[in-house]
């Protein structure tokens, strides 16, 4: 019998890779990046940041560009001198990569002309990524695509998602490989517009979503996320896999490796993000996924927190039976342009947790508004509060998680001033004194990671 042969189509894997400023600070770092990209033919689209610090006393190129913009608005005679310092940074990279015949001279002439005639902050700040992208494309022999030709903002300064995705997908479909600078695009007025600082993460995410990438690799100077802040806990364990929801909770409470807005374009497309270390490419890093059946190494995924909160305690008898009471209280904060962070409540009490620096200089206005709108029995203010988020998808399947947290804090002689647990059982927020913040984080880490009880 003749053997039936079926031609199997081999699926092409597409990876979008974004490299942070520390990964592209000098020629030596550029070479590491080049080796990483060339080691995997699936790494087809590259998003570079501007050069970061080469050493602790150095200055990021983006900061140098912002400084020169302000110089141009005050004293144009100093622009040339300042611009030469930036040009020297790039010449050092070009020479170190031995890119003979390649020059950014015309680009710097355009930047100088802009600064001398019509200084524009967004345009000037974006040139760090633009110039690095030009060098990267030359070094890799990839096509260079200017981000302003494929990323668009609307009248309100928000990303025009539909136009961006459509234009980006069509443009990149024609390119086998390409470099797209991070951090900026084109505004509705035709001028360059930037994202907020760290926005190259967003560009990488947009590119990944547009090409329907299999993976979005975000390369930085750390090997992914850690269970706790290494400035507080010595050599904390790494997080192998984290869900988008867990990441959102931890990022909100200060754990920042990735720009928050970089999550949404890939999350909606179901694309996983892999956080990797340029200086340790053999490390697997952290995978950020929509959902996973893999069991976490520990009951908790991570611990993060911030200092500098205060709690406004509102007391009123039979509060729970008064329709609209909560809305009236929150209106007092809204009138004073203050966001609230958490709102734990009891039968006759409601606590509004806010940032001290936003609240204290408006406190009496808020208290007065609460009395006017909600007629409470009393309003009390407590300051010097730190919030700690204990996050983990494993918490809901493990009994006694909250009990272990409070036992650890009690043993460490830390007084708990507030508790707030979400209905999803994904996180528990604990309020402690600012002075107890580090002690509390260490105690929680020890009970869940060091002892693994």
- Tens of pLDDT, residues 351-404: 999 999 999 999 999 999 999 999 999 999 999 999 999 998 888 777 788 889
In this structure, what CATH number is given to the domain that contains residue 100? 3.40.1160.10
Q: How confident is the model at residue 161 (pLDDT cuts 50, 70, 90)?
A: very high
- Residue 273 is predicted with a pLDDT of 93
Q: Please give the C-alpha separations between residue 84 and each of 56, 99, 104, 117, in angstroms, as whole numbers.
A: 22, 20, 12, 18
- Residue 453 is predicted with a pLDDT of 47
Who wins on pLDDT, 168 or 397? 168
- Is a pLDDT exceeding 90 seen at residue 245? no
When divided into structural domains, the chain yields a total of 2
**b vs e for 316-338, b when ≥16 Cβ sit within 10 Å of the residue's Cβ?**
beebeeeeebbebbbbbbeebeb
Contact between 152 and 194 (Cβ < 8 Å): no
- 188, 76: one domain: yes
- 142, 44: one domain: yes
- 205, 309: one domain: no
Contact between 348 and 386 (Cβ < 8 Å): no
Give the DSSP letter string of 318-348: TGGGSTTHHHHHHHHHHHTT----B--B-SS
Q: Give the torsion through C-alpha atoms of 116, 131, 280, 441, to 10 deg.
A: 40
- Residue 358 is predicted with a pLDDT of 93
In this structure, what CATH number is given to the domain that contains residue 410? 3.30.2130.10
Q: Across the chain, what does the average pLDDT equal?
A: 91
Residue percentage of the chain with pLDDT more than 70: 95
Residue ending a domain, choose from 195, 221, 247? 221
- 442, 319: one domain: yes
- 31, 143: one domain: yes
Residue 313 belongs to some domain of the structure: yes
- Is a pLDDT exceeding 50 seen at residue 150? yes
Nearest to 452 by CA among 408, 391, 410, 396: 408
Contact between 195 and 148 (Cβ < 8 Å): no
- Residue 253 is predicted with a pLDDT of 75
Residue ending a domain, choose from 221, 252, 287? 221
Residue percentage of the chain with pLDDT more than 90: 76
Sign of CA dihedral 88, 94, 97, 101: negative
- 314, 215: one domain: no
Question: What DSSP designation does 11 have?
Answer: P
- Is a pLDDT exceeding 90 seen at residue 244? no
- Residue 1 is predicted with a pLDDT of 45
Q: Cβ of 86: how many Cβ atoms within 10 Å?
A: 22
- 306, 176: one domain: no
Q: Tell me which residue has tokens 């050493």.
A: 55
Distance CA 397, CA 400 (A): 10
| pTM score over 0.75 | yes
Which residue segment(s) compose the domain that 213 sits in? 15-221
Residue 255 belongs to some domain of the structure: no
- Residue 256 is predicted with a pLDDT of 67
- 68, 194: one domain: yes
- 38, 162: one domain: yes
Residue 229 belongs to some domain of the structure: no
Q: How confident is the model at residue 2 (pLDDT cuts 50, 70, 90)?
A: very low
- 209, 85: one domain: yes
Distance CA 70, CA 161 (A): 31
- 200, 322: one domain: no
Residue 233 belongs to some domain of the structure: no
Nearest to 90 by CA among 32, 30, 131: 131
Residue 398 belongs to some domain of the structure: yes
Distance CA 300, CA 162 (A): 38
Residue 41 belongs to some domain of the structure: yes
Residue 158 belongs to some domain of the structure: yes
Sign of CA dihedral 246, 247, 248, 250: positive
- 40, 181: one domain: yes
Residue ending a domain, choose from 221, 247, 276? 221
Residue 196 belongs to some domain of the structure: yes
- Residue 122 is predicted with a pLDDT of 97
Distance CA 220, CA 216 (A): 13
């Amino acid at each position: 019998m003749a053997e039936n042969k079926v031609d199997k189509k081999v699926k092409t894997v597409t990876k979008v890779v974004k490299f942070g400023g520390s990964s592209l600070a000098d020629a030596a770092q550029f070479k590491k990046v080049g080796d990483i990209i060339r080691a995997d033919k699936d790494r087809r689209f590259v998003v570079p940041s501007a050069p970061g610090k080469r050493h602790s006393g150095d200055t990021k190129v983006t900061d140098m560009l912002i400084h020169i913009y302000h110089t141009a608005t005050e004293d144009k005679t100093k622009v040339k001198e300042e611009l030469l310092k930036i040009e020297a940074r790039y010449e050092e990279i070009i020479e170190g990569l031995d890119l003979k015949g390649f020059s950014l001279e015309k680009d710097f002439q355009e930047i100088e002309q802009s600064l001398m005639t019509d200084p524009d902050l967004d345009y000037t700040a974006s040139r760090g990524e633009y110039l690095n992208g030009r060098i990267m494309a030359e070094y890799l022999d990839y096509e260079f695509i200017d981000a302003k030709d494929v990323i668009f903002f609307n009248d309100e300064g928000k990303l025009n998602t539909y136009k961006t995705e459509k234009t980006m997908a069509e443009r990149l479909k024609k390119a086998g490989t390409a470099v797209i600078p991070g951090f900026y695009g084109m505004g509705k007025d035709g001028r360059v517009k930037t994202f907020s600082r760290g926005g190259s993460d967003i560009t990488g995410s947009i590119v990944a979503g547009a090409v329907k990438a299999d993976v979005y690799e975000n390369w930085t100077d750390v090997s992914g996320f850690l269970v706790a802040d290494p400035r507080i806990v010595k050599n904390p364990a790494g997080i192998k896999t984290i869900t988008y929801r867990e990441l959102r909770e931890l990022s909100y409470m200060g754990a920042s490796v990735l720009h928050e807005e970089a999550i949404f374009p890939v999350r909606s497309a179901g694309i996983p993000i892999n956080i990797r270390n340029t200086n340790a490419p053999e490390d697997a890093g952290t995978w950020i996924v929509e959902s996973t059946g893999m069991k976490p190494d520990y009951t908790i995924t991570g611990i993060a927190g911030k200092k500098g909160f205060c709690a406004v305690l509102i007391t009123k008898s039979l509060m729970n039976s008064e329709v609209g009471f909560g809305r009236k209280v929150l209106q007092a904060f809204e009138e004073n342009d203050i966001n609230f962070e958490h709102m734990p409540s009891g039968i006759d009490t409601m606590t509004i947790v806010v940032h001290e620096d936003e609240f204290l200089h408006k406190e009496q206005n808020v208290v007065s508004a609460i009395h006017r709108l909600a007629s409470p029995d009393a309003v009390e203010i407590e300051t010097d509060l730190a919030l700690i988020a204990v996050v983990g998808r494993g918490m809901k399947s493990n009994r006694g998680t909250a009990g272990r947290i409070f036992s650890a804090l009690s043993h460490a002689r830390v007084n708990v001033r507030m508790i707030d647990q979400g209905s999803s059982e994904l996180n528990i927020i604990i309020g402690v004194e600012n002075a107890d913040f580090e002690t509390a984080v260490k105690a929680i880490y020890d009970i869940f990671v060091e002892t693994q009880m």
